[in-house]
Amino acid sequence: MSRIGKKLIAIPDGVKVAVSGRTVSVEGPKGKLSLTPAAAISVAVDAAAKVVKVTCTKDDRLSRSLYGLTRSLIANMVEGCLKGYFRSLEVYGVGYSVQLQGKKFTLNCGFSHPVMFDVPDGLIVEVQTPQARGDSEPARFTIRGPDKQAVGEFAASVRRAKPPEPYKGKGVRYAGERVRRKVGKAFVGTAGT
Q: How far is the C-alpha of 127 from the C-alpha of 122, rounded, in Å?
A: 17
Give 163-189 pLDDT, tens digit per residue: 999 998 899 999 998 989 888 887 776
The CATH number of whichever domain residue 34 belongs to comes to 3.90.930.12
Residues 32 and 89 in one domain: no
Q: Is the residue at 36 inside a domain?
A: yes
Residues 113 and 146 in one domain: yes
Give 28-71 pLDDT, tens digit per residue: 999 999 999 999 999 999 989 999 999 998 888 988 889 999 99
Residues 72 and 102 in one domain: no
Please indicate whether residue 191 or residue 146 has the higher confidence score (pLDDT): 146
Residues 131 and 61 in one domain: no
Residues 128 and 59 in one domain: no
Answer with the one of 53, 82, 111 that is the final residue of a domain: 82
Q: How far is the C-alpha of 33 from the C-alpha of 43, rounded, in Å?
A: 15
Residues 19 and 93 in one domain: no
What is this structure's pTM?
Answer: 0.86
Q: Is the residue at 192 inside a domain?
A: no
Q: Is the residue at 53 inside a domain?
A: yes
What pLDDT shows up at residue 64?
87
Question: Which domain covers residue 147, as residue numbers?
Answer: 85-174
Residues 66 and 91 in one domain: no
Answer with the one of 82, 116, 132 that is the final residue of a domain: 82
Q: Is the pLDDT of residue 4 over 60?
A: yes
Q: Is the residue at 65 inside a domain?
A: yes
Q: Is the residue at 185 inside a domain?
A: no
Residues 12 and 67 in one domain: yes
Of 146, 147, 172, nearest to 159 (Cα)?
Answer: 172
